[in-house]
Amino acid sequence: MTTLITGGTGKTGSRLAKLLHAAGHPFILASRSGTAPAPLSSNLGVKFDWADPSTFQNPFSFVSGGETKIDRVYLIAPTAVLDSLPLVQPFVDLAVAKGVKRFVLLTATLSESGGPGLGKLHEYVAGLRGGVEYTVLRPTWFIENFGTLYAHSIREKDEIFSVMKSGKLPLVSADDIAKAAFDALFAEQSPNTDYYLVGPELFSYDEVAALFTEVLGRKITHKHLTDEEEQALYQSFGLPKEYAAMLTAGEALVASGSEERCVGTSKTITGTHTLRQFVEANKQIWTKS
């Protein structure tokens, strides 16, 4: 039987693929490009686009002349969409009809079942019947965001921006998320519940800036923005207005301890990768041009 990884070339999907490859589990990587990243074989990729329902059948027709027996799916919903359920539900229903028996869905700490954003999708997957199993993984902010979202501001302006004030985050690595997904996909018995995914340390963004200062050898500061300033900045990156507002609102909750409350609970999975490890291993990202 085969595992399907949607978002197969993304931060967590690509790492999960490497874990499956190392363990000898068959899998297919679904992405808009239809390719698999090196060093994986390019023929492991299949074209899949949430905006194009005609591609939903592609993973199940992966083997010429017959259907691929996919029994597990790692589910990454489309980003920058306020309500992903209308886009994702038809695929979930198709997957169940094709024999998929286990879903591992990635959402976020702030995404409660039945709530806005990914909450409706969480609720739908958890309510599937017919013996379909599920795990919902709810990570906090990614460590890797400092190598993407904040890369330019750190490199060119020596600053990290946010509306988080002195709120703290248990920043988590995409590697730890991939490991949790692997464990959920292949657990002998599915837990049929949701888990917070956090890292081993709590950081305010002032403390993140201090760590970058130490490792990079130049002063990095945390620029405290207003909600309006941050929304405008996110929109300048090309994000829709409503999505930019949602991201800003989520960050503002950090100031009141929203992410600290996810640490050490009965449904918390704590990773092992640290922010310092990431910064020290990737200093070239923030080297000035």
In this structure, is the dihedral angle defined by the CA atoms of residues 205, 208, 210 and 212, taken in order, positive or negative? negative
Query: 289 or 168: whose pLDDT is higher?
Result: 168
**Residue ranges, CATH 3.40.50.720, the chain:** 2-139
Omega of the bond leading into 39 within 30 degrees of 0 (cis): yes
Class of domain 2-139: alpha beta
Residues above pLDDT 70, as percent of the chain: 96
pLDDT given at position 67: 61
Model confidence at 108: pLDDT above 70: yes
pLDDT tens digit sequence for 127-172: 999 999 999 999 999 999 999 999 999 999 999 999 999 999 999 9
Reply yes or no on whether the pLDDT at 42 is more than 70. no
Instruction: Name the β-bridge partners of 103.
Output: 73, 134
pLDDT in tens, 46-93: 999 999 999 999 999 876 455 668 999 999 999 878 889 999 999 999
CA dist 170 to 74, 99, 125, Å? 23, 37, 27
Mean pLDDT for 200-210 is 98
Q: What is the pLDDT of residue 37?
A: 74
The structure's pTM equals 0.94
Is the pLDDT at 176 greater than 60, yes or no? Answer: yes
For position 41, what pLDDT does the model report? 67
Note the residue count of the chain: 289
State whether residue 262 is helix, strand or coil: helix
Q: What is the CATH number of domain 142-171+198-261+272-289?
A: 3.90.25.10
Where along the chain do the CATH 3.90.25.10 domains lie? 142-171+198-261+272-289
3-state secondary structure of 233: helix
